[in-house]
Amino acid sequence: MATLVDENNRKTDGVEQRIAMRLRDADVGAPVAEVMRDLMAAGLDHIPLPGHGATLKRWQALERVARHDLGLVKLYEGHTDALAILQEIDVHPPSSAATLRAVWASEARAEPMTIRSVEGTRAIIGGRKSWCSGARVVDEGLMTAVDPTGKRWLVAVKLSAAGITIDETRWNAVGMRGSASFDVVCDGVDARVVGASGAYLERRGFWHGGAGIAACWFGAAASIGARVRDLQRGRDDVHALAHLGAIDATLASGAALLREAAAAIDLAPGRDAMRIALRARGAVSDVCEGVIHHAMRAIGAGPLCNEADLAQRVADLPIFIRQSRAEHDQVAQARALLADEREMRDVGWAL
């Protein structure tokens, strides 16, 4: 296994740079699904698995895609997360390189996806799954579902299967509108069981993936910061420069924490990474809000009204970071902190 992981890490050396080059060549205004398929065709969806010695490389790839477009990174992050999950818990992970996948695990609505029957690895499911990003363009979705005994499973569903309808009426977003996170409604749909019951939540990589989403948020914040920096070239507006200085410090702190989190995950991949993930997500969420705060004061309304890409990022990012559950996550983080005797001796806060 170690040999296979080492080989995968070697093959993905420089993937962030290759992604950047590919995205620079992408047609301006091309649909995000088209750009995503192009990245897949170039093999740029194969990035290091989290917790296998190159987690930072993985996050750098996510960051690079997020700098380009947040609608695109929703597809990219979901697809690469699905590949990592299948590698981790699926007995016979599929090998089709042309299949665009997503992970849809939200339990936000009161209409849970349920497993009506199971026979071997085949299940029949029904219900509604909300927040399904890319539902119109994805080939296969990995969905969480609950059986009559209350056990939770992960199932793989082909979006071309009979009994599936996509409900667009609940998605009225302005920010992140491009992610097209519609509801997927299933009625007697044939699905494939992935892993054992509870495997999706209990696998060691669950929180590794949860931390990785912060790299996407950070990439978007960094792209906003870069535009603020560029707009100050040749100017000497001291107030704008003060905001740019604050953006620089804010982004640097977020980058340092993400690098530390990636290193901690790789150092002890079998350890529960919940606190690492929640800390990274909470801190980077604050970074994003800080960058937006300072950016809007530094540049004023002009660029936000005249530059479509910048305006879209500033609209998208506050919605995207609400994937973090804010104070709910902070409570869970604090309780885990108080339960950790090592941390209570200030070991984790030492310089």
Taking CA 264 as the corner, what is the angle to CA 276 and CA 260, rounded to the nearest 5 degrees? 80
Give residue 92's pLDDT: 76
Phi, psi of 182 (to 5 degrees): -85, 175
What gap in Å lies between CA 99 and CA 121, rounded to an integer?
20
Place of tokens 């620089």: 248
Give residue 347's pLDDT: 61
Q: Which residues of the chain have pLDDT under 70?
A: 1-12, 95, 108-110, 341-347
What gap in Å lies between CA 150 and CA 332, rounded to an integer?
23
Give residue 94's pLDDT: 72
The beta strands (E) that lie in 47-181 are given as: 101-104, 114-119, 122-132, 140-146, 152-158, 164-167
Token code pair at residue 70: 């947040």
Q: 249 Cβ partners below 8 Å, 6+ apart?
A: none
Give residue 346's pLDDT: 65
Amino acid occupying residue 16:
E
